[in-house]
């Protein structure tokens, strides 16, 4: 590998995928470390390289304009010979795959906190015309304090263009594809919502809703079969979450959530309803860096406040009434 790509010094390898390698890089101009994702173009003809270059810059620029707390920031992009690269915010914390595989599982409330933030990031990207196309655990980074960032917006579409020029191969992680991705139908934000539903199901139950011995068997189930309710796998999951997951995993896009904002609102509602139980587990629902439930009053607390206010009012009324009577008698 080159020692430099553009102005970036290339360091250790962080990961490897279908299309290239991710390295830790250093930007001496700004004095910061970044993640450098490379895409190898060696197998393409010169014409195909030019076509890919146009798509690469178009998609990367669009993704680079996304500025949201739950989306990893793209800093720069470029090309050196047959290597296209993207410089992005370096995340050295756990990805969601590590958390799912960990024996020490977060509470359901904490998992909802993570899911809510993913939905918030998706909603922002969709509002700006970007569909992720490859939502999966390894693209969800979880930082300290359970702060979540979604990675690789726009990159799946770049890679799909590259694969189509080579072999018409379907791009995306087979276990997390939507029916329309498998059937080569038009892709909309609701495709991301389906993939998110698979991710949420796996987070809640520890199991994938659609599994099989090979990609074809998984794809058949995604297109044709409904999975068991999450609560049938994990009895701690409330029925309201069954309904959220089922709506995400509807086979027809029009039967899913119309947008990720509505999905995020339902996840928020589930978390608020579960907050008394999850408070004992230490789970926190947070929005914008604060505990959003801290400002909310439960029904029991509200009834107590109303009753106490009424008693105080009655007491004051009696005292005033007695005082007035005494004054009259005097």
Tell me the two tokens of residue 109. Answer: 């409330």
Tell me the two tokens of residue 280. Answer: 């004992």
For residues 115 and 75, is the Cβ–Cβ distance under 8 A? Answer: no
Tell me the two tokens of residue 102. Answer: 């960990």
- CA-to-CA distance for 196 and 321, rounded, in angstroms? 64
Tell me the two tokens of residue 257. Answer: 């959530």
Residue with tokens 């360091």: 11
- CA-to-CA distance for 319 and 16, rounded, in angstroms? 79
223: exposed, middle or buried (C-beta count within 10 Å: 0-12, 13-18, 19+)? middle
For residues 70 and 57, is the Cβ–Cβ distance under 8 A? Answer: no
- CA-to-CA distance for 81 and 76, rounded, in angstroms? 17
Beta-sheet strands, E only, within the chain: 4-5, 8-16, 21-27, 32-40, 74-80, 83-89, 94-95, 140-142, 148-150, 286-287, 290-291
134 catalytic per annotation: yes
- CA-to-CA distance for 26 and 34, rounded, in angstroms? 6
User: Which residue in 76, 134, 284, 293 is the catalytic one?
Assistant: 134
Spell out the long-range contacts of 5-13 with Cβ–Cβ below 8 A and sequence spacing 24 or more.
5/36, 5/38, 5/78, 5/80, 5/83, 5/85, 6/76, 6/78, 6/80, 6/85, 6/87, 8/34, 8/36, 8/85, 8/87, 10/36
Q: Which residues are catalytic?
A: 134
């Amino acid at each position: 590998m080159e020692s430099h790509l553009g102005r970036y010094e290339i360091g250790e390898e962080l990961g490897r995928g279908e299309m290239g390698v991710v390295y830790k890089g250093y930007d001496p101009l700004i004095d910061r470390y970044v993640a450098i994702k490379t895409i190898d173009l060696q197998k393409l003809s010169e014409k195909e390289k030019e076509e890919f270059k146009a798509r690469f810059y178009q998609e990367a620029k669009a993704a680079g304009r996304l500025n949201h707390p739950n989306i990893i920031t793209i800093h720069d992009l470029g090309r050196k010979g047959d290597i296209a690269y993207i410089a992005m915010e370096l995340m050295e914390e756990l990805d969601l795959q590590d958390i799912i595989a960990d024996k020490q599982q977060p509470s359901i409330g904490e998992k909802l906190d993570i899911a809510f933030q993913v939905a918030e990031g998706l909603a922002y990207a969709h509002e700006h015309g970007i569909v992720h196309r490859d939502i999966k655990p390894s693209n969800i980074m979880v930082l300290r304090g359970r702060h979540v960032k979604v990675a690789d917006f726009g990159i799946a579409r770049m890679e799909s263009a590259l694969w189509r020029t080579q072999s018409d191969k379907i791009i995306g992680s087979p276990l997390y594809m939507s029916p329309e991705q498998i059937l080569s139908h038009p892709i909309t934000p609701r495709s991301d919502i389906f993939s998110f539903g698979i991710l949420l199901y796996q987070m809640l139950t520890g199991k994938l809703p659609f599994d099989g011995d090979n990609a074809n068997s998984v794809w058949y189930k995604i297109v044709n079969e409904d999975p068991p309710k999450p609560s049938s796998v994990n009895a701690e999951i409330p029925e309201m979450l069954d309904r959220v997951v089922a709506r995400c995993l509807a086979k027809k896009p029009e039967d899913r959530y119309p947008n990720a904002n509505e999905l995020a609102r339902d996840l928020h509602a589930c978390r608020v309803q579960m907050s008394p139980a999850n408070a004992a587990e230490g789970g926190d629902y947070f929005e914008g860096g604060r505990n959003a439930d801290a400002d909310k009053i439960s029904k029991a607390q509200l009834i107590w406040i109303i009753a106490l206010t009424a008693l105080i009012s009655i007491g004051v009324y009696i005292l005033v009434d007695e005082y007035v009577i005494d004054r009259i008698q005097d």
